[in-house]
Amino acid sequence: MRRLLLLLSPSVLLLASCALPENGRRPAGEAAIDLPSLWKEASTGQHEKISTGWLAEFQDHRMSNLVREAVRKNNNLQSAAYRLRSTRESTITARAARLPRISANGTTSRSHAGLGPSPGVSSRSYGLSFAASWEIDVWGRLRNLDYATRADYQAALADYRSAQLSLAINTAKSWINLTESQQQVELAEQTLTDFKKSLSLISRRHREALLRAVDVQFGRNNVASAERNLRSQILRRDEAARALQLLLGRYPSGELKATSNLPNLKRQVPAGLPSQLLARRPDLAAGRARIYASAQRANAARKDLLPSLRLTGSGSNGSPELRSALDPAYLTWSIASSLAQTVYQGGAPSAQARAALERNRAAIHEYTQSVLQAFREVESALQIDHSLREQERFLLVEVDQASKAQSAAERDLGLGIEGSSVLEILESQRRAVNARGTLIRLRNQRLQNRLDLHLALGGDYETVED
């Protein structure tokens, strides 16, 4: 075997020098990204200890339980888990290509030749054969393909983790939407009660000939509108419940009960979040794995231009006696080696190598764009968080003043104070209802945006990639 390799070495080196591209370009196994040290929108203030686990930030025990239930029982995630297991099996196939292949075959037969009136002649035969082949990975081409397949599995694993994180975030969002819908139902019920109370007051003043019939019509119009809005909010709440039940893997009956209190955000986003947190984002981890896989495949495509060396061996034995067929002394065997090099194929091998290199470069640019997109998502979530917090501060004043105006208008009309009118009551009620509904929606938006921030960061404020 050593003599064979020594004889083949000059020819192999000569063919290798002719087959490799002249420009010598090599694929890149990673992308260099210039990361800022701190997020722009969170670069001020004291650095705080970043919390562990984004679920704990919302202080909602039931939401935490629902998120964990979804991760266990969601059918789409379970399907993705089985696909991931299927992908893992491909790593065994790629690794097996680097090992020898051995096959064995056993045969037995019986024949009979008829001789007319004379007794026929019967015979038996037994055969045993085996074959072995092994492509010696002289240049590391098979090793590159093996590494590429392993990187594919790591990318698939990161995709699964991304789906798991997205499911957890979407489940939390759905629970918050359901809670907000329940609050809107309760607000609609309270609004209907207030409108009925006002209609009773207006009707009494009308009977006393102190108000016109048109004022009663306005009051009844408000009550009918509140009745319609209540039905609409109940439908919206039931639809939110069905959406959450689907994520949980439950039957979408719409009967999932919600609480009346949204989760609390008692802490602000810590200042000085390190940009290195993005490295743990599952989608970016998948992108890095795909860059590495494309680089390994590009290297394999380049090495495919070089000669391939294969060893083959075979053995067989045949005998009319089973004992002789199994006796190694009767075995016929052979061992051979072969060196193969594509001399001309219309430029196809070189084109395949160049195409693999270009796919590697495309993967680098795709990853770079994904990183920039991740930065944008984090920056936007931080800015939106600050804006919504400021809006809530002013909206609380708006709700307070609208409620006071509604109470004053109803009191003035009930006491018959000069200058009071039904239009003042209707306008104050409309503003109070709109302000309260807007406050509920804005608090929902703040929670949703905080979840978007955790999704953009790839988790909590502290945990780093192993």
Q: Which residues contact 110 (CB under 8 A, 6 or more apart)?
A: 122, 123, 124, 125
The C-alpha torsion from 46 through 47 and 49 to 50, rounded to 10°, is: 120
Domains of the chain: 31-101+139-305+349-457 (1.20.1600.10)
Helices 213-248 and 422-457: crossing angle, nearest 10°? Answer: 20
- Dihedral over Cα of 149, 152, 158, 159: its sign: negative
- CA atoms lying within 13 Å on the CB side of residue 18: 11
Q: What is the 3-state secondary structure (H, E, C) of 186-221?
A: HHHHHHHHHHHHHHHHHHHHHHCCCCCHHHHHHHHH
pLDDT tens, 338-381? 888 887 788 888 999 999 999 999 999 999 999 999 999 999 99
Please say whether the beta carbons of 174 and 243 come within 8 A.
Answer: yes
Which token pair is 138?
A: 């002289």
The rounded distance, in Å, linking the Cα atoms of 187 and 198 is 16
Which token pair is 89?
A: 């099996």
Residue in 449, 442, 453, 402 with CA at minimum distance from that of residue 183: 442
Residue in 18, 8, 86 with CA at minimum distance from that of residue 343: 18
Give 38's DSSP letter: B
pLDDT tens, 239-272? 999 999 999 999 999 989 888 899 988 778 887 7
The rounded distance, in Å, linking the Cα atoms of 295 and 298 is 5
Q: How far apart are the first and last CA of the chain?
A: 45
Which token pair is 231?
A: 């039905």
Q: Which residues contact 402 (CB under 8 A, 6 or more apart)?
A: 428, 431, 432, 434, 435, 436
- What is the pTM (predicted TM-score) of this model? 0.81
Give 348's DSSP letter: H
Helix (H, G, I), strand (E, B) or coil at 304: coil
346-350: long-range pairs with CB below 8 Å, 24+: 349/304, 349/305, 350/21, 350/305
The rounded distance, in Å, linking the Cα atoms of 431 and 425 is 10
pLDDT tens-digit profile, the chain (466 residues): 343 333 333 333 333 444 455 455 677 766 655 555 444 444 333 222 333 368 888 889 999 999 999 988 999 999 988 888 888 888 888 888 888 888 888 888 888 777 777 777 788 887 888 888 888 888 889 999 999 999 999 999 989 988 988 999 999 999 999 999 999 999 999 999 999 988 898 888 888 877 788 888 988 999 999 999 999 999 999 999 999 999 999 999 998 988 889 998 877 888 778 888 888 888 999 999 999 999 999 999 998 888 888 888 887 777 676 666 666 766 777 888 888 888 778 888 899 999 999 999 999 999 999 999 999 999 999 999 999 999 999 999 999 999 998 888 888 877 777 667 778 888 888 899 999 999 999 999 999 999 999 999 988 887 776 5
Report the DSSP beta bridge partners of residue 38: 274
Helix (H, G, I), strand (E, B) or coil at 321: coil
- CA atoms lying within 13 Å on the CB side of residue 31: 27
